[in-house]
A and B are shown apart, each in its own frame.
Chain A
Amino acid sequence: MRGVRREEEQRRSIFTRRALALGLGQLALFGALGTRLYRLQSEEGERYRTLAEENRLSARLIPPPRGRILDRNGQVVAGNKLNWRVLLVAEQTQDVGATLETFSRILPLAEHERARIEREVRRRRRFVPVTVREFLAWEEMARIEVNAPDLPGILIDVGTTRLYPEGEHLAHMVGYVAPPAERDMDGDPLLELPGIRVGRAGLERFHDQVLRGRAGAVQLEVNAVGRVIREVERREGVPGQDVQVSVDAELQKAIRGRIEEGTSVVVLDAKNGEVLAMASQPSFDPNLFNAGVSAAQWRQWTASRSTPLINKATNGLYAPGSTFKMVVALAALEAKVLTPGERVSCPGYYDLGDTRFHCWSRYGHGGVDMRAGLKYSCDCYFYEAAKRTGIDRIAAMANRFGLGVDLDIELPGTRKGLVPTRAWRQAQGKPWNLGDTVVHGIGQGFYQLTPLSLATMAARLATGRAVQPHLTRSIGGRPARGGKPEDWPSLGIPDRDLRLVREGMWAVVNEEGGTARVARLPGQYGVLAGKTGSVQVRRVSREQRERGYKAENQPREWRPHALFVAYAPYDNPLYAVSVVVEHGMSGAGAAAPLARDVMLEVFNRFRAAPAQRVAEGRP
Chain B
Amino acid sequence: MSGTFERRLLTRDRGTGLLQKLWLIPWSFVLLLCAVAAVGYVALYSAGGGPEAYAAKHAIRFGFGLVLMLGIAMVDIRIIARFAWVGYLGGIALLVLVLLHGNVGKGAQRWIDIGPLQLQPSELMKIMLVLALAAWFQRASGERIGNPLFLIPPALMVLVPVGLILKQPNLGTGLITAMIGGAVFFAAGVRLWKFALILAAVGVAAPIAYEHLHDYQRARITTFLDPESDPLGAGYNIIQSKIALGSGGLWGKGFLQGTQGHLNFLPEKQTDFIFTMIAEEFGLVGALTTLGLLALVVLFCFAVALRCRHQFGRLLAVGLGTNFFCYVFVNVAMVTGSIPVGGVPLPLISHGGSAMLTTMLGFGLLLSVFVHRDAEFGPARD
B187-A40 in contact (CB<8A): no
Among B240, B246, B248, point to the contact of A47 (Cβ < 8 A). Answer: B246
Interface residue from B250, B260, B299, B314 paired with A41 (Cβ < 8 Å) = B250
Whole-angstrom distance between the Cβ of A44 and the nearest chain B Cβ: 5
Provided the pairs A8-B380, A15-B187, A34-B291 are in contact, do residues A51 and B264 lie with their beta carbons within 8 angstroms?
A: no
Which residues on the B side are within 8 Å of A22 (C-beta)? 183, 186-187, 302, 318, 322
Chain A nearest CB from B227 CB (Å) reads 13
A186-221: contact bitstring with B at CB < 8 Å (1 yes, 0 no)?
000000000000000000000000000000000001
**Which residues in B have their C-beta under 8 angstroms from that of A16?**
306
Contact A27 to B263, CB < 8 A, known contacts A38-B284, A41-B250, A45-B250: no
On whether the beta carbons of A4 and B379 are closer than 8 Å, the reply is yes
Q: In the bound complex, do residue A223 and residue B142 qualify as a contact, i.e. CB atoms below 8 Å apart?
A: no
The chain A residue with its CB closest to the CB of B263 is: A223
Taken residue by residue from 240 to 263, chain B's Cβ proximity to chain A (1 for < 8 Å, 0 otherwise) reads as 101111111110000000011011
The one of B142, B283, B336 that contacts A33, using a Cβ cutoff of 8 Å: B336
How many Cβ-Cβ contacts under 8 Å join chain A to chain B?
149
User: In the complex, what's the smallest C-beta–C-beta distance from A488 to chain B, in angstroms?
Assistant: 62
- Interface flag for A125 (CB, 8 Å): no
- Chain A residues with Cβ below 8 Å from B265 are 52, 55-56, 223-224
- Least CB distance from A15 to B in Å reads 5
9-residue interface stretch from B9-17, B218-226, B325-333? B325-333
Check B358 for interface membership: any CB of A closer than 8 A: no
Q: How many residues of B contact A (CB 8 A)?
A: 51
Evaluate contact between A41 and B329: CB separation under 8 angstroms: no
Scoring B residues 308 to 346 as 1 if CB is less than 8 Å from chain A, else 0, what string do you get?
A: 000100110010011001001100110010100000000
Are A52's CB and B244's CB within 8 A? yes
Residue of A nearest to B332 (CB): A33
Q: Which residue of B lies closest to A41 (CB)?
A: B284
7 shortest interchain CB distances as A-B pairs: A48-B246, A52-B247, A224-B264, A223-B263, A41-B284, A23-B302, A45-B249
Give residues of chain A (1-39) contacting chain B, Cβ–Cβ below 8 Å: 4, 7-8, 10-12, 14-16, 18-20, 22-23, 26-27, 29-30, 33-34, 36-38
The residue in chain B whose Cβ has the minimal distance to the Cβ of A229 is B263
Contacting residue for A225 out of B187, B250, B264, B291, CB 8 A: B264
Smallest Cβ distance from A26 to chain B, in angstroms? 5
- Decide if B32 is an interface residue (CB 8 Å cutoff): no
Residue B279 at the A interface, CB < 8 A?
A: yes
Alpha-carbon gap, A15 to B287, bound state (A) = 33
The answer, yes or no, to whether B133 is at the interface (CB within 8 Å) is: no
Chain A interface bracket (under 10, 10 to 19, 20 to 34, 35 or more): 35 or more
Q: Is the CB of A34 within 8 A of B189?
A: no
Expressed in whole angstroms, the minimum distance between the Cβ of B183 and any Cβ of chain A is 6
Q: Nearest chain-A residue to B267 (Cβ)?
A: A224
Q: Is A356 an interface residue (CB 8 A)?
A: no
Please determine whether B305 and A19 come into contact, CB atoms closer than 8 angstroms.
Answer: yes
Closest chain A residue, CB of each to CB of B248 = A41
Indicate whether A4 sits within 8 Å of B250 (C-beta atoms), given known contacts A10-B142, A19-B314, A55-B259: no
Q: Tell me if B142 and A40 are in contact (CB < 8 A).
A: no
Instruction: Please tell me if B141 contacts chain A, counting CB pairs below 8 Å.
Output: yes
**A45 and B295 within 8 A (CB):** no
How long is the Cα–Cα vector from A218 to B338 in the complex, in angstroms? Answer: 38
- Whether B142 and A7, one on each chain, are in contact in the complex, defined by CB atoms closer than 8 angstroms, is yes
- Taken together as a complex, chains A and B put the C-alpha atoms of A23 and B306 apart, in Å, by 11
Assess whether B288 is interfacial by the CB under 8 Å rule. Answer: yes
> A484 in the interface, Cβ–Cβ < 8 Å?
no
Interface set, chain B 253-299, CB cutoff 8 A to A? 259-260, 262-265, 279, 283-284, 287-288, 291, 294-295, 298-299
Q: Are B279 and A37 in contact (CB under 8 A)?
A: yes
A222 in the interface (beta carbon within 8 A): yes
Residues of chain A within 8 A of B299, CB atoms compared: 23, 27
Q: Are A49 and B246 in contact (CB under 8 A)?
A: yes
Which A residues lie at the B interface, using CB under 8 A? 4, 7-8, 10-12, 14-16, 18-20, 22-23, 26-27, 29-30, 33-34, 36-38, 40-42, 44-45, 47-49, 51-53, 55-56, 221-225, 229
- The answer to whether A15 touches B189 (Cβ under 8 A) is yes
Check B141–A42 contact: CB distance below 8 A: no
B141 touches A41 (CB 8 A): no
For A42, what are the chain B residues with a Cβ–Cβ distance below 8 Å? 249-250, 284
- CB neighbors of A among B53-87 (8 A): none
B186 touches A224 (CB 8 A): no
Q: How far is the CA of A34 from the CA of B332 in the complex (A)?
A: 10
Contact mask for chain B residues 155-193; partner A; CB cutoff 8 A; 1 contact, 0 none: 000000000000000000000000000010011110000
Contact A27 B245 (CB under 8 A): no
Q: How far is the CA of A37 from the CA of B288 in the complex (A)?
A: 8
Contacts of B186 in A (CB 8 A): 18, 22
A55 to B322, CA, bound (A): 38
Q: Is the Cβ of B244 less than 8 Å from the Cβ of A11?
A: no
Q: Are A51 and B243 in contact (CB under 8 A)?
A: yes
Residue of A nearest to B251 (CB): A41
Cβ-closest chain B residue relative to A49: B247
Give Cα A27–Cα B303 distance, bound, in whole angstroms.
13
**A49 in contact with B306 (CB, 8 Å):** no
> What distance in Å separates the Cβ of A11 from its nearest Cβ neighbour in chain B?
6
Q: List 9 A-B contacts (CB under 8 A).
A: A11-B142, A18-B186, A23-B298, A30-B329, A33-B338, A41-B283, A53-B259, A55-B240, A229-B263
Give CA–CA (A18, B288) in the complex, Å.
27
Say whether A45 contacts B379, CB under 8 Å: no
Contacts of B294 in A (CB 8 A): 30
Q: Which residues of B contact A38 (CB under 8 A)?
A: 284
Q: State the CA gap A38–B287 with chains docked (Å).
A: 10
Chain A residues, Cβ within 8 Å of B305: 15, 19
Pick from B189, B279, B322: contact of A26, CB below 8 A.
B322
Q: Is A51 in contact with B263, judged by CB distance below 8 angstroms?
A: no
B347-382 interface (Cβ within 8 A of A): 379-380
Q: How far is the CA of A37 from the CA of B249 in the complex (A)?
A: 10
Structural contact, A49 and B249, CB atoms closer than 8 A: yes
Supposing A14-B142, A33-B329 touch, asked if A8 and B379 sit within 8 A by C-beta, the answer is: yes
Q: Are A40 and B245 in contact (CB under 8 A)?
A: yes
Whether A224 contacts B291 in the complex (CB less than 8 A), given A11-B141, A19-B306, comes out as no
B 207-245 contacts with A by CB, 8 A: 240, 242-245
